[in-house]
Amino acid sequence: MEAHTLKGNSRNNMILDAPTVEEAYQAVIGGTSRHKTVIISGNCWVDYQGRASSTLEPGERIVMLKPDGSALVHRPTNYAPVNWQPPGAIFRTAIKGDNLSIRAFRRKENETLEVTFDRIIMVAVLDLQDSGEFYLHASEKDMQEAILFQPDLLEEGFRPIKAEKPVEPGFIDIMGVDKDNVLTIVEIKRNPATSEAVLQLQKYMDVFKNDSTRRIRGILVAPELARGAQGLLATLGLEFKALSPKVCSEVLKRKRSKTLTEFF
Amino acid sequence: MFEVELSRIDTFRNLVKALSVIVDEGTFNIDEAQMKLLAMDPSHVAMVDFELPSEFFDKYTCEGENRLTLNIGEFLKFIDRVDKDENVKIKHDEENARLIIHCKRGGHTRRFAMPVLEPLDDEVPQPKIFFKASARILTQSLRRAIRDSTLVSEHVKVEVAGDVFKVSATGDMGSALSEWEKDSDELLELKVEEDASATFTLSYLQDIVNAVTASSEVATLELSTDMPIKMDFELPQGRLIYYLAPCIGV
């Protein structure tokens, strides 16, 4: 067996190449109890008992045990796991005879997934840090870029003046003027806009209301308004524009082009 | 007042369709001799310069200068309803701000009315570009090369290098290349003052070329490196020119 530390990341990651059952047992126990991500590859068979029951005959597979208590058994083909447990399962690792047994069970549902290895190719115990968001289509930043690129996504005649304008309580996503030259403050959300978002926009509005007596519009841009935000929006005299991240991502696809106005 | 009559709608419809891929709302400037439209798409990446002489129509009546602003997509929907053996009359009802479309076949008439919008005031200038190369090519050939490119990329490179006109695309899925040598039957003319190449967003180019194929057999493309492309699609009567801004650094 060889133990490696991962290149460029000596934090607390470990890979065991062809460990014995005993070595693998120590590594898996150590990993799951410290809430690390554990990957085991080897020859194994799987029994599942719960709402249904299944058996997977011996073969070489990849098993993943995640810190949130989800477990996945992957065969060498197909994208979906052949067996799995959703988050919240409890892992129990044991040596049974000459084999390594890993059970992932969910007490409430009385579901048990048991994977038994008789030969282990590799064990990896990984301390993975991941706080990134996953965006299916466009992030709020992308939505902002799309509106700046094609301002009539907001409304016809809208002209942006400044993006990310710093004001006392934060940054205004987009500031511009509408077709009647009325100052317009735009706050963008990629999820259904809540009362909180409405209040955030109102705070930005207050900055300008204190400054002058001229008319000013506030527009909240989001795929939809969350329940309860409608009333507040109306009370505060703010407006809502429905815009989905998907539409924005379509617009951005076209964006990498220059505009003709640069050549006039 | 403005009123035209056509015994068949199809040629006119194809032209409106070609406009609709670029223009959402457009203002036709109409006088006794012709109707004109010069407009950009909402993201200012593409422009169309369109002109149709009065002779295009079977009957053409215009008194003074007329401005007619329409939602082109909506206009297309209405004239799509006209059957090809119907006689059609299109009239600007200024009093009610309506465009009236009259279709007639035998003793049966249908009448549509759609809103005429407030004219858009923004003057659209023409891009000022000195083109270094031009290629006159069959519209069908251009369309095929563009479709080839969509297999592999979202961008397409248009290039004149020496005696060769090229349309090419490269992406993760592979590459596609069309080349026409000067003596190709499909390439009617090639003028080169200086080699030129520029890259464009395929979705625009594809929309444009697909829509004009029904109206135009031959296109003249004018090009300078990393500058907008000018695409002059020849019509039996009138003018249909598109400008498309390049993509830089893709």
Q: What would the pLDDT profile of B63-76 be if each residue is shown by its tens digit?
A: 988 999 999 999 99
B125 within a domain of the structure (yes/no): no
**Mean pLDDT (chain A, rounded):** 89
The predicted-structure confidence for A130-168, as pLDDT tens digits, reads as follows: 888 777 777 888 899 899 988 989 998 899 998 888 888
The answer, yes or no, to whether residue B15 has pLDDT greater than 50, is yes
Share of chain A above pLDDT 70, in %: 93
CB contact under 8 A, A258 and B246: yes
The answer for residues whose C-beta is within 8 angstroms of residue A181's C-beta and 6 or more apart is none
How many beta-carbon pairs under 8 angstroms link A with B? 58
Check if B204 contacts A (Cβ < 8 Å). yes
Partners of residue A149 in chain B, C-beta under 8 Å: 43
Q: Nearest CA of chain A to the CA of B84: how many Å?
A: 35
List, edge to edge, every strand of the sheet that includes B187-192: B66-71, B25-30, B34-40, B46-53, B239-244, B229-234, B218-223, B133-138, B187-192
CB contact under 8 A, A262 and B45: no
CB contact under 8 A, A259 and B246: no
Judgement on whether residues B240 and B138 belong to the same structural domain of the protein:
yes
Top residue of A257, A259, A261, A264 to mutate, by most chain B CBs within 10 Å, is: A257
B165 within a domain of the structure (yes/no): yes
The answer, yes or no, to whether residue A129 has pLDDT greater than 80, is yes
The answer for residues whose C-beta is within 8 angstroms of residue A120's C-beta and 6 or more apart is A18, A19, A20, A21, A24, A40, A41, A42, A100
Judgement on whether residues B73 and B150 belong to the same structural domain of the protein:
no
B62 within a domain of the structure (yes/no): yes
Q: Nearest CA of chain B to the CA of A260: how many Å?
A: 5
> What does the pLDDT read at residue B197?
96
B127 within a domain of the structure (yes/no): no
Share of chain A above pLDDT 90, in %: 63
Q: Nearest CA of chain A to the CA of B2: how many Å?
A: 28
Check if A52 contacts B (Cβ < 8 Å). no
The predicted-structure confidence for A12-51, as pLDDT tens digits, reads as follows: 789 999 999 999 999 999 999 999 999 999 999 999 998 8
Structure tokens at B14: 């194809």
CB contact under 8 A, A264 and B125: yes
B123 within a domain of the structure (yes/no): no
Q: How far apart are CA B177 and CA A40, in angstroms?
A: 47
> What does the pLDDT read at residue A126?
95
The more confidently predicted of residues B228 and A211 is B228
For position B204, which CATH number holds? 3.10.150.10
The predicted-structure confidence for B119-175, as pLDDT tens digits, reads as follows: 876 678 888 889 999 999 999 999 999 999 999 998 999 999 999 999 999 988 899
Structure tokens at A28: 């898996």
A210 pLDDT tier (thresholds 50, 70, 90): low
Mean pLDDT confidence for B102-107: 93
A5 pLDDT tier (thresholds 50, 70, 90): low
Judgement on whether residues B97 and B148 belong to the same structural domain of the protein:
no
Judgement on whether residues B48 and B82 belong to the same structural domain of the protein:
yes
> What does the pLDDT read at residue B111?
95
Judgement on whether residues B105 and B66 belong to the same structural domain of the protein:
yes
Domain stops at, among B86, B115, B144: B115
Judgement on whether residues B148 and B189 belong to the same structural domain of the protein:
yes
Judgement on whether residues B168 and B140 belong to the same structural domain of the protein:
yes
B126 within a domain of the structure (yes/no): no
The more confidently predicted of residues B240 and A253 is B240
Q: Chain B window 154-183: which residues touch A at a Cβ cutoff of 8 Å?
A: 154-155
CB contact under 8 A, B155 and A256: yes
The predicted-structure confidence for B194-248, as pLDDT tens digits, reads as follows: 999 999 999 899 999 999 999 999 999 999 999 999 999 999 999 999 999 998 7
CB B166 within 8 A of CB B148: no
The answer, yes or no, to whether residue B11 has pLDDT greater than 90, is yes
Check if B128 contacts A (Cβ < 8 Å). yes
Q: How far apart are CA B93 and CA B91, in angstroms?
A: 6
CB B120 within 8 A of CB B153: no
Judgement on whether residues B109 and B179 belong to the same structural domain of the protein:
no
Domain stops at, among B115, B143, B178: B115
Q: Nearest CA of chain B to the CA of A149: how many Å?
A: 7
Q: Which residue of B has its CA nearest to A254?
A: B201
The answer, yes or no, to whether residue A255 has pLDDT greater than 80, is no
> What does the pLDDT read at residue A8?
43
Mean pLDDT confidence for B181-188: 94
Judgement on whether residues B217 and B176 belong to the same structural domain of the protein:
yes
CB contact under 8 A, A259 and B45: yes
Judgement on whether residues B111 and B189 belong to the same structural domain of the protein:
no
Check if A180 contacts B (Cβ < 8 Å). no
The more confidently predicted of residues B239 and A2 is B239
The gap from C-alpha A11 to its chain's centroid, in whole angstroms, comes to 24
A170 pLDDT tier (thresholds 50, 70, 90): confident
What is the per-residue DSSP string for A184-241? EEEEE-SS-B-HHHHHHHHHHHHHHHHH--S-EEEEEEESSBPTTHHHHHHHTT-EEE
Domain stops at, among B115, B141, B157: B115
The answer, yes or no, to whether residue A2 has pLDDT greater than 60, is no
CB contact under 8 A, B43 and A255: yes
For position B94, which CATH number holds? 3.70.10.10
The pTM of the full predicted model, rounded to 2 decimals, is 0.62
DSSP code of B125?
A: P
> What does the pLDDT read at residue B42?
79
> What does the pLDDT read at residue A108?
82
Q: Which residue of A has its CA nearest to B198?
A: A257
Judgement on whether residues B213 and B161 belong to the same structural domain of the protein:
yes
Top residue of A147, A258, A261, A264 to mutate, by most chain B CBs within 10 Å, is: A258
Partners of residue A257 in chain B, C-beta under 8 Å: 43, 45, 200-201, 204, 244-247
> What does the pLDDT read at residue B47?
95
User: What is the number of structural domains in chain B?
Assistant: 2
Q: Nearest CA of chain A to the CA of B227: how many Å?
A: 8
The answer to which of A98-112, A246-260, B151-165 has the lowest mean pLDDT is A246-260
Check if A152 contacts B (Cβ < 8 Å). yes
The predicted-structure confidence for A60-93, as pLDDT tens digits, reads as follows: 999 999 999 999 999 999 999 999 999 999 999 9
Query: Structural domain of residue B140, as residue ranges?
Result: 133-244
The more confidently predicted of residues B34 and A52 is B34
Q: Which amino acid is at A159?
A: R
Q: Nearest CA of chain B to the CA of A253: how many Å?
A: 8
Judgement on whether residues B62 and B159 belong to the same structural domain of the protein:
no
CB B201 within 8 A of CB B115: no
Vertex B135: Cα angle to B175 and B240 (nearest 5): 105
CB contact under 8 A, A258 and B47: no
Nearest Cα residue to A125 out of A208, A258, A28: A28
Partners of residue B249 in chain A, C-beta under 8 Å: 256
B37 within a domain of the structure (yes/no): yes
CB contact under 8 A, B154 and A253: yes
